Chains A and B, each alone.
Chain A
Amino acid sequence: MALVLSDGVGAAIRAHGVETYPNECCGALIGRDGVVTVTYALPNTTEEGPRRRFLVRPSDYREAEKRASEAGGDLLGFYHSHPDHPARPSQYDLDHAWPFFSYVIVSVHAGVSGDMTSWRLREDRSAFDSEELTHA
């Protein structure tokens, strides 16, 4: 599998991660056929500490699906940042993942964005598989 980020998408994710640092940011990935054309920044509504957790509440999830539909696209997945942690999924990420979505993670160290990776949940929920991330 591979995920393509259209022009400006990677920059928007990085900018959001820097903006919310030292807290985690989150947002939706909207596009079609594995190409993300637009992001939709969402509020991190976690009550477990936004420096290490994010939560997209159901009402915001519904809004993201609506936005994707209005844009003539699909909801392809979600992005979030890992402040001062590597861009690798945690056990918590795995425990809460949905199938078939792409999960883009950007690492933000000391307020500066670093590695960006993308992951998909294995169908048996046992692990994430890395997917190739390219920039159009």
Chain B
Amino acid sequence: MPNTINIPTPLRPFTDKKESVEVSGGTVGELLTDLTTKYDGLRKHLYTDEGKLRNFVNVYLNDEDIRYLQKEQTPVKTGDTLSIVPSVAGGCS
């Protein structure tokens, strides 16, 4: 059964303007891989060149930050919803 990933505003141009996308997989990491396979343009904005999630990319399984679960190895079940939520950071130096 597919799961849903909620897409934040700045990434929607890569998902044909969709606010949510149906994906499949057994873990958070597999859902994200399915997402970036379907929408390749997302990959460089979600992952570093080393293949790690960027530190200003927050992923929630339902309402839980995956950093406090098992990160990308967190198992998912039918009906679970993933949300990608930006942190926005910057500064003058």
- Chain A residues within 8 Å of B, Cβ to Cβ: 24, 26, 46, 48, 52-58, 61-62, 65, 68, 74-75, 78, 80, 82-85, 89-90, 92-93, 96-101, 103, 123-125
Q: Would you call B45 and A96 a contact (CB within 8 A)?
A: no
**Residue B1, interface by CB 8 Å:** no
Instruction: Describe B's contact surface by its main secondary structure.
Output: mixed
CA distance in complex: A103, B92 (Å): 13
The chain B residues found within 8 Å of chain A, CB to CB, are 8-11, 13, 41, 44-45, 56, 58, 60, 85-93
In the complex, the answer to whether B93 meets A85 with C-beta atoms within 8 Å is yes
Q: Contacting B87 at CB < 8 Å: which of A57, A74, A92, A123?
A: A57
Bound together, the chains give a CA A38 to CA B8 distance in angstroms of: 20
Closest beta carbon of chain A to B91's beta carbon, Å: 4
Say how far B62's CB is from chain A's closest CB, in angstroms. 14
Q: How far apart sit A128 and B90, CA to CA, in the bound complex (Å)?
A: 13
How distant is the Cα of A100 from the Cα of B45 in the complex, in angstroms?
Answer: 11
A83 to B86, CA, bound (A): 24
Q: How far is the CB of B10 from chain A (nearest CB, A)?
A: 4
Contacts of B93 in A (CB 8 A): 52, 85, 90, 92
Given contact pairs A58-B58, A65-B9, A125-B44, A96 touches B85 in the complex (Cβ within 8 A):
no
Inter-subunit contact B92/A55 (CB<8 Å): no
